[in-house]
Structure 1
Amino acid sequence: MATAFSLHGIRRVDFTFVPRATLAVQAHPGSAWRGAFGHALKRMVCAMRLRPCEGCPLAGVCIHPAFFGADSAAEAGRPYILCPDRAPRDGLIRPGQAFRVRLTLLPSAESAAAYAVRALLEAAAAGVSARRVPLDCRAIADAGTGQPIDPGGSLPPPEAIHCPPPPARVRLRMTTPLRIRLGGDLLTGRTLLPGHLVGAALRRLRILGLPASPALADAARAEAATLRFEQPRLGWVETTRFSSRQNSAMQMGGIVGEALLDLERARHVWPLLWAASVLHLGKGASMGFGRIEAAAA
C-alpha cells in the first residue's frame, strides 16, 4: 500500500469569465493570461511608479518579483499556476460564452493571495488579447469544495488536499503541452517514460517546498523504472507566446495526448502522478503548461 500523501497550504480558485465581444485566443492561452495577470499585479502593488523591477530598492519586500521577476532560475519555483480552459476549436470565445481560469497559489504565495485574486479580476476586466477584449467575472469558487468566494470579502483559509487511494490502472491525459528536458533536449511522445514523470514530479515538489519523503521518493523511482505506457497516443503540439521581456515571439512546443499505466505493483508511483495533476510539470507550468489529468481507468 502506498504511503499516505497530502498537499498542504495550496489554494485553488476557479474563475468563470464571459467576454463582452468575440475573443480570439490560442488553443492554450495561458501565456496571454499570465501577461495580463502580471501587468495587473504590478499596477496594483508597485509603489515606484511602475519602474522596472531590476534594481528597484523595494524588490526585496515587493510581492511582484516573486511572481514575475526576471531571474530565469526562479521560473520553475513561481508560487502560482494560471491555467485557463483550452480554447474552442475555432479559437473564438463568443460574447456570453463561459470560460474558466483556475488560479493555483502555492504556500509561499499565501500572504499575497488576496492581491493575486484581485489582480486576475482586474486583468480580465482590462482585456487579455491583442484587442483587449474585456471579460466579466460571473463566478469565483473554491476548486476543491465548489463553495463560492465573495470577491469583495476575505478569502477562506486553504485546506489540505489529500491524495485518493491508488487505482489499479490509471489513464494519464496531457491536456496542455508538457515540456520536460533531459540532457538539454526536450522529451517527445516517443521518448517519454513513466520514470520521467515521476522524476519531474519529485523535482517540482522539492522546488516548491513540498518535498516527498525519501522513502516515498525512492520507492516511486524504483517502481517507475519497471513501467511502460500502454496504448500510448502521445503527440506534439506547437504554440507561440510573445515575451514582452525579450520583445519577441517564442515557440513553446510540448507533448500532448494520453496513455495508460498499470499500477497494480507500483502503488508508490500514484501519489506522484496525483501531485502532478495538481501542480503541473515541466517548463511553463506557471502559465498552465504541463497539465496532467490522472484518473482511474
Structure 2
Amino acid sequence: MSQSERSFISTANLVTLHFDVQQVDDLCMPKYSGSMLRGAFGTALRRLTCVTDLPACRDCPLKVHCRFPRIFERPALMPASVQAVNPYVLHTPPPSTYHSGDVWHFKMSIMGDAIGDSTLIIRAWQQALAQGLGVRAPFQRARLLYVRLGETLLFDHSDIDNSDKNSGKIKALPVTHSQIDCHPSGTPASVDQLDLQFLTPFRHQQKGCIVNQAQVLDTATFLASLYNRIRLCQRHHSPDIPWRIGYEDYHAFKADILQLDMTADIRPANISRRSSRQQRKIHLHAMIGCIHLSDPDRSGALERLLPAFRLGEQLHIGKSTTLGLGQYKIMAYTPNA
C-alpha cells in the first residue's frame, strides 16, 4: 500500500453530522449522556413515524414498511439468529451544567439507507430537543441551532417560521462516498506510538461475560474486535462498496496487533441507565481509560492499523455503541527518532 493510499480511507455510505444545541432550560448533562440522548431521539422518531403505537417493533405487522425500525430498531427487522447493527452511532458531549442560553455540541454518525433519511433524523432531533432532555418530567428544553456535514450547512434555526416550530429547511443527503484522513494536519506520516483515549466507557465480552476488571481484559482481542465491528457495519450498510482498511481477514488484522507493545491504563466505570420501555434502571458493567500502543520493532504494524483505528473513531468499539459507548480518540503520535 502506497503512502497516498494509506493517507485516506474511502468509506462509502458513512457520514458524521455535527449538531449545535442551545439550552432553553438549565440542564445538568449526566456523566454518560448517551442513554438520555438516544431515548429522547427514539421517542421523537417514533412519534414522527409509528402508526400502530405498538410497544415493540418486532411484533408489528407493518415493521418492514416503517422507517422507525429501519433507523432505530434494525434488529427487529432481522431473524433472531442474525447479528444486526443499527445504522447510527452517537458521539456524546462531555458532562457539564448548561444554563439557559449556553450552547453545546454532539455528533451522530449515520450509515447506509439512514443517510437517505437524514431529513427525518434531523427533524426528530429538532423535536426531541424542543420536548426536552432528562430522565423524567419536567424535561429541560433546548433548541437545535445548526446541523452541519463538514462545511455544508444542512439546517439553520434562523429559517424557522416562529408560527411553526417544526418548520425550517433541511437539506437532504444522498448516499455518498466520503474519506477519513488517517494523518490529520500536524501529525507525522510515520507512526511508532499512539494512544487510544476513551471518552466514554467501553463494554467488551470475553467468554460470555462483560469484562469489569482491568486485569481480566485481553487487550489484543479487544482491539482486534474492531475489525469485526467495521465489517459488520459495512456488510449491513455498505454491502456493494467495501470499506478498504488494508486487511482482508481478521487473522491478519490481529497478527499486526500482536506485534505491538500494549499497556492498558483502564479502570471500571459502571453505568446506570433508565429504560423507558422496561420502566426500570439497568446497570451496565464497563471500563474506561487509555490504551497505549507502540511498535518498538518498527514493523509498520501501527501504520497499517491506523486506517481501522481512524474509522473506529466514528464507529466506536465494543458493545452498546448506539448509547455512545466505546467512543475514543487517537491522542498522540510519537514517532521514534
Q: Give the TM-score band, short-chain normalised.
A: 0.7 to 0.9
The correspondence of residues 101-120 of structure 1 with structure 2, limited to 5 A, is 101-120=106-125
- Per-residue deviation, 1:66: 2.9
- Per-residue deviation, 1:76: 5.8
Equivalent of residue 210 in structure 2, options 176, 181, 186: 186
2:119 & 2:63 partners in 1: Cα distance?
20
| 1:134 aligned residue | 141
- Per-residue deviation, 1:119: 0.5
| 1:224 aligned residue | 257
| 1:269 aligned residue | 305
| 1:125 aligned residue | 130
Please state whether the residue corresponding to 1:100 is helix, strand or coil: strand
- Per-residue deviation, 1:17: 0.9
CA contact (8 A) 1:201 1:275 kept: no
1:81 & 1:74 partners in 2: Cα distance?
20
The correspondence of residues 1-297 of structure 1 with structure 2, limited to 5 A, is 4=6, 5-48=9-52, 50-52=53-55, 53-69=57-73, 71=76, 77-88=85-96, 92-129=97-134, 130=136, 131-142=138-149, 145-150=150-155, 152-157=169-174, 158-165=176-183, 167-187=191-211, 188-210=213-235, 214-215=247-248, 217-230=250-263, 232-263=264-295, 264-265=298-299, 266=301, 267-297=303-333
CA contact (8 A) 2:116 2:172 kept: no
Please state whether the residue corresponding to 2:119 is helix, strand or coil: helix
Letter aligned with residue 155 of structure 2: D
CA contact (8 A) 1:219 1:268 kept: no
Letter aligned with residue 245 of structure 1: R
The 3 A distance-change label for structure 1 pair 6 and 196 is farther
CA contact (8 A) 1:194 1:225 kept: no
1:6 & 1:222 partners in 2: Cα distance?
23
Task: Compare 157-166 and 281-290 and name the one that shifted more.
Answer: 157-166
The 3 A distance-change label for structure 1 pair 243 and 124 is same
Q: Which has the larger radius of gyration?
A: 2
The 3 A distance-change label for structure 1 pair 209 and 223 is same
1:102 & 1:73 partners in 2: Cα distance?
31
Q: Structure 1: which 5+ residue stretches go unaligned?
A: none
Q: TM-score scaled to structure 2, two decimals?
A: 0.78
- Per-residue deviation, 1:156: 4.1
CA contact (8 A) 1:242 1:249 kept: yes
- The number of residues matched between the two structures is 290
The share of aligned pairs that are identical, in percent, is 21
CA RMSD of aligned residues (A): 2.5
- Deviation track 1:194-223 (CA, whole Å, cap 9, x = no partner) reads 422432211111221256565364432111
- Per-residue deviation, 1:55: 2.5
- Per-residue deviation, 1:96: 1.7
Task: Compare 78-87 and 165-174 and name the one that shifted more.
Answer: 165-174
Task: Compare 252-261 and 156-165 and name the one that shifted more.
Answer: 156-165
Structure 1's consecutive aligned runs of 4 or more residues displaced over 6 angstroms after TM superposition are 72-75
2:313 & 2:249 partners in 1: Cα distance?
18
Please state whether the residue corresponding to 2:191 is helix, strand or coil: coil
2:321 & 2:13 partners in 1: Cα distance?
18
Please state whether the residue corresponding to 2:118 is helix, strand or coil: helix
Please state whether the residue corresponding to 1:77 is helix, strand or coil: coil
2:260 & 2:219 partners in 1: Cα distance?
6
Task: Compare 239-248 and 154-163 and name the one that shifted more.
Answer: 154-163
- Deviation track 1:12-57 (CA, whole Å, cap 9, x = no partner) reads 1111112112112320101011011001001111233x23334222
The 3 A distance-change label for structure 1 pair 245 and 153 is closer
- Per-residue deviation, 1:125: 0.8
The 3 A distance-change label for structure 1 pair 47 and 213 is farther
